[in-house]
Structure 1
Amino acid sequence: MPHAILRSRRRRAAVSGALLAVLGTLGTAVPSRASAMPPAACPSGLVGKATCYTGQDGNGAYYTIAVPKRWNRSLVVHAHGGPAASADPAATTEDLAQWAVLVEQGYAWAGSSYRRGGYGVRMAAADTDNVRRLFVERFGRPARTYVHGQSFGGNVAAKVAETYGRERGAYDGVLLTSGLLAGGSRGYDHRVDLRVVYQYYCRNLPRPDEPQYPLWQGLPAESTLTPDDVLARLQECTGIASAPAARTPGQQRNLDDITAVTTIPERSLPTHLQYATFLFQDIVGNRLGGRNPFGNQGVRYTGSHDDSALNAGVARFSADPTARRDLSYDSDLTGQVSLPVLTLHAIDDPSVFVEHESAYRATLHGAGRDSRLVQTFTRESEHDELSVAEYATALAALDDWVRTGREPAPLSIANSCRTYDRTYGGGCFYDAGYRPAPYSTRVRPRPGDVSWPAMTAAQERAWSRIDGVGIAP
């Protein structure tokens, strides 16, 4: 599972050679306490504007911290997307480069690579909170602290708020951008559907002459297939990388049926299929001991040229209730958050559908906490890189909300974006009147879902003994 496939935001290539040289030494210099935190090279965009620090914590997670020259005494703790295949020493500094606008606004910034690659929301939340603690140990308690999560990191940051947000003085607000907020037990169901629908039409993952395996595995643990191999098979079946005129009629029909049934845009189909193979392989094989958390029994697929044949022939399976429960406990959200929460999401996000915002609002509503939630939406069609001005606007709106106690309206946030656009650029594309449809309108629901609040106290205590951080390490 190469890093580039299982990371949901783009790498930043513009990292100086000096920075790479510094990061290359981290394998031998492994400080576990903030007092041993050495200064390091900053990304090129922050040179002269901030002092940067890198290191590795006692759990093995790499971190990067930046303190601006003109610090406003507030801190942003960042939870990155992915999950990545490994804990890459360079990744946190690449994250800093991507979110440099927050440092330019005067906020200190701290991000963790997480202690290992692969899936694990509670593990990632623990490591995210740990980098906050390292910052406090080294620089003192900030006046205000915000946790920010992007994509999969949105799930992580929301879990941070629920798990650690009740600690007095730990966090003051939550910023979730393009967040995967339906949790792991529902958030990947569209990829379950893709995996079975793809195999129905393409029959090459696995091929008929290859060893067969249940599709909920993604791939068997012993598989030697690479991401390039999977993309080659997708191309073979659909011609997706070819111009439409160069595709065979069969390829075009396969592509049309797969995208219509799954509602996954053609441009993001390769990425979703990679997740439905390699991420599932990690969740099932490495985190759940081979147990299956996914199911599609009772799901009716529609939108193809022959729905009856599709529903009669598509693979069907049921989740192991214990696996579904454990994935839910690790990643699903309870809504038990008392902090102000501001979200930002592109309406045409091709990777994490905007309907995740509806799922999150419903979760908070069920917990009686939705009065502390403000959601904003933009007329953009990207996942990882929305307008820089919008990111700056979102953090400024959250900070003003925390400082004044006045909850912002989506329209006022949209109107304030012009000020930040003049400074940082990127444009303003807010749609203050937009409301996403329910999650079930985009991702077909599964009957009999099990969520973590249904666990018994004994089951939850048993989980706490597994590394203290959820899904098996």
Structure 2
Amino acid sequence: MAFGHLRWLCCAALAVSQAACAPHFASPVLAAEGSVNAAHLRGDVLWSVRVPEHWNGTLLVWSRGYARKAGAPEAAPDRFIVPLLARGYALAGSDYGSGGWALADAVPAQNLVVDEFARKYGKPRRVIGWGMSMGGLVTSALAEQDKPRIDGALALCSSIGGAVGMMNMALDGAFAFRTLVAPNEGIQLVGVKDDMANGRRVAAAVAQAQTSADGRARIALAGVLAGIPGWTGPDSPEPSGDDFEAQVDEIAKAFAMGVMLPREDQETRAGGPFSWNTGIDYRRQLEKSGRSAFVERLYRSAGLDLDDDLARLASAERISAKPQAVSYMMAHYTPDANPRVPLLAVQAIGDGMTSPSLQRAYGKAAPGTLVQSLYVRRSGHCAFSQDEILAALDTLEGRLEAGRWSRPGAPFIAYDPPPMLRPCFRGRSCQ
């Protein structure tokens, strides 16, 4: 059915609940849901769309973040639906047909959504992929395909550094913490049987370690190795650069979630552990971080010998990965940092779950002028405001129209995060 021949209703007669209506819009909104079967996926892919009557011709394809179960398909996060429809965007998204680390399913599922939208409602003038967290990585994967279905990509608070590098860096933080702080608490680094229970063990050990100067210094070291910034709490002010104690508190807030990233499902899909720290020199990693003065100051205050702890890490038994598991995670998904369409990456400087260093690594690895990396001064994971999302879309659409990136203004700030300590991109060596 061509877009121009649609009969516009507040809710279309296509398996839509009344809750999907938007009665406060001056123009009616078509809201539809459906499914499409694909033999190469695990099962039916459920999709959801919202289309305003005065569609501007651009389709925004939303990619959700990590979820243990697929859940209901989202055309966009609830808090952004009204302003995006008011701008005339059509919205679409799927449930990927799967929960968990669904990168193998998500990319073809999202392509199916684009095709299904075009078949039912008319071919969009422009398709922009956007997503947050794991969904930002899905969006990057869509942009890196040889023949992308999208014309531009917006990766927000994204694990854009890729599965292997991101999880290796998390492993480093968890390894240092378990070795130096909690060797007898039953913390699993790989081969995780229950992510939630493992995370609770880490959170309890962090809470105990915070009560002593020794523990706080070691939390700082482990957090730096994991790439956790010194500001992570969405309800706390940004610590000053010399307020090291406040920065430790901020690292501790995010530590359990930031280093014990979901492994259970990923390792099941991959066929075993895909992270490793064999051959990693943690003394060198600390030097590369640019944050050694922060750690050294806390060690001095605690009366601890940093050299002794680094020697303990050097002599501790290391973790090896299964080559076939690494191969799976490289394919699903470790970026090549070579998008075929313009890609805008936006990150908060205080995100303790997807380290800002991941975005820095992607931006530096990407060739040419297709990628722009921007930052906002806020903390927390994926807590962007409506204004920030709209400004990001304006920036990306400006690039698509003009063929070049504009000079960023508010709400974006100049910022250069610490480096990603375990960069890993397809076609290049992994550290």
State yes or no: 1:206 paired with 2:186: yes
State yes or no: 1:194 paired with 2:177: no
Q: What is the aligned partner in structure 1 of residue 207 from structure 2?
A: 239
Give me the identity figure in percent.
Answer: 21
Q: Residues of 2 paired with 1:438 and 1:128: CA distance?
A: 31
Q: Residues of 1 paired with 2:426 and 2:17: CA distance?
A: 41
Q: What is the aligned partner in structure 2 of residue 359 from structure 1?
A: 361
Q: Residues of 1 paired with 2:382 and 2:22: CA distance?
A: 19
Deviation at 1:88, TM superposition (A): 0.7
Q: Residues of 2 paired with 1:274 and 1:234: CA distance?
A: 8
Q: Residues of 2 paired with 1:258 and 1:160: CA distance?
A: 33
Quickly say closer, same or farther: Cα 1:46–1:389, change in 2 above 3 A.
Answer: farther
Task: Tell me if the contact between 1:147 and 1:174 (Cα under 8 Å) persists in the aligned partners.
Answer: yes
Task: Tell me if the contact between 1:374 and 1:410 (Cα under 8 Å) persists in the aligned partners.
Answer: no
State yes or no: 1:133 paired with 2:131: no
Deviations 1:68-89 (A, max 9, x none): 233212100011111x111112
Quickly say closer, same or farther: Cα 1:261–1:395, change in 2 above 3 A.
Answer: closer
State yes or no: 1:259 paired with 2:223: yes
Q: What is the aligned partner in structure 1 of residue 337 from structure 2?
A: 335
Task: Tell me if the contact between 1:181 and 1:360 (Cα under 8 Å) persists in the aligned partners.
Answer: yes
Aligned pairs for 1:369-408 (under 5 A) are 370-403=368-401, 405-408=402-405
Q: Residues of 1 paired with 2:151 and 2:200: CA distance?
A: 47
Q: Residues of 2 paired with 1:382 and 1:110: CA distance?
A: 26
- AA aligned to 1:119 is W
Task: Tell me if the contact between 2:60 and 2:127 (Cα under 8 Å) persists in the aligned partners.
Answer: yes
Aligned-residue RMSD, C-alpha: 3.1
Q: Residues of 2 paired with 1:257 and 1:327: CA distance?
A: 27
Deviations 1:292-330 (A, max 9, x none): 211112223354644434314544122233322221122
Q: Residues of 2 paired with 1:235 and 1:335: CA distance?
A: 34
Deviations 1:255-310 (A, max 9, x none): 455435544322211212442xxx212222x21223x2111122233546444343
Q: What is the aligned partner in structure 1 of residue 92 from structure 2?
A: 110
Deviations 1:358-392 (A, max 9, x none): 22123322xxxx31222222112232111211110
State yes or no: 1:157 paired with 2:139: yes
Q: Residues of 2 paired with 1:259 and 1:215: CA distance?
A: 15
- AA aligned to 1:69 is E
Q: Residues of 1 paired with 2:22 and 2:217: CA distance?
A: 46
- AA aligned to 1:341 is L
Aligned length: 368
Deviations 1:433-455 (A, max 9, x none): 3344432xxx246xxx6x64489
Q: What is the aligned partner in structure 2 of residue 299 from structure 1?
A: 280
Task: Tell me if the contact between 2:48 and 2:75 (Cα under 8 Å) persists in the aligned partners.
Answer: yes
Deviation at 1:113, TM superposition (A): 1.5
Deviation at 1:120, TM superposition (A): 3.5
Q: Residues of 2 paired with 1:45 and 1:203: CA distance?
A: 54
- AA aligned to 1:87 is A
Deviation at 1:249, TM superposition (A): 6.2
Q: Residues of 2 paired with 1:92 and 1:86: CA distance?
A: 13
Quickly say closer, same or farther: Cα 1:313–1:37, change in 2 above 3 A.
Answer: farther
Deviation at 1:158, TM superposition (A): 1.1
Q: What is the aligned partner in structure 2 of residue 68 from structure 1?
A: 52
State yes or no: 1:438 paired with 2:419: yes
SS of the equivalent of 2:60 reads strand
State yes or no: 1:282 paired with 2:265: yes
State yes or no: 1:410 paired with 2:420: no
Q: Residues of 1 paired with 2:388 and 2:270: CA distance?
A: 38
- AA aligned to 2:17 is A
Deviation at 1:341, TM superposition (A): 1.7
State the TM-score, normalized to the length of structure 2.
0.75
Deviation at 1:94, TM superposition (A): 7.0
Q: Residues of 2 paired with 1:355 and 1:75: CA distance?
A: 30
- AA aligned to 1:76 is L
Residue 190 of structure 2, aligned match among 190, 213, 216:
216
Q: Residues of 2 paired with 1:373 and 1:237: CA distance?
A: 40
Deviations 1:202-240 (A, max 9, x none): 134527xxxxxx7322x13xxxx572x445423432326
Aligned pairs for 1:48-67 (under 5 A) are 48=25, 50-58=29-37, 59-67=43-51
Aligned pairs for 1:462-473 (under 5 A) are none
Quickly say closer, same or farther: Cα 1:197–1:355, change in 2 above 3 A.
Answer: same
State yes or no: 1:176 paired with 2:140: no
Q: Residues of 1 paired with 2:195 and 2:329: CA distance?
A: 26
State the TM-score, normalized to the length of structure 1.
0.69
- AA aligned to 1:215 is L
Task: Tell me if the contact between 1:115 and 1:124 (Cα under 8 Å) persists in the aligned partners.
Answer: yes
- AA aligned to 1:321 is P
SS of the equivalent of 1:345 reads strand
Deviations 1:86-138 (A, max 9, x none): 1112x526734445432232101111111111214232111111111111111
- AA aligned to 1:152 is M
Quickly say closer, same or farther: Cα 1:261–1:156, change in 2 above 3 A.
Answer: closer
SS of the equivalent of 1:331 reads coil
Quickly say closer, same or farther: Cα 1:101–1:306, change in 2 above 3 A.
Answer: farther
Task: Tell me if the contact between 1:295 and 1:317 (Cα under 8 Å) persists in the aligned partners.
Answer: yes
Quickly say closer, same or farther: Cα 1:315–1:68, change in 2 above 3 A.
Answer: farther
SS of the equivalent of 2:380 reads coil
Deviation at 1:64, TM superposition (A): 1.7
Q: Residues of 1 paired with 2:88 and 2:316: CA distance?
A: 53
Q: Residues of 1 paired with 2:54 and 2:321: CA distance?
A: 52
Q: What is the aligned partner in structure 2 of residue 32 from structure 1?
A: none
Deviations 1:340-371 (A, max 9, x none): 22222112222212222222123322xxxx31
- AA aligned to 1:383 is H
Q: What is the aligned partner in structure 1 of residue 247 from structure 2?
A: none
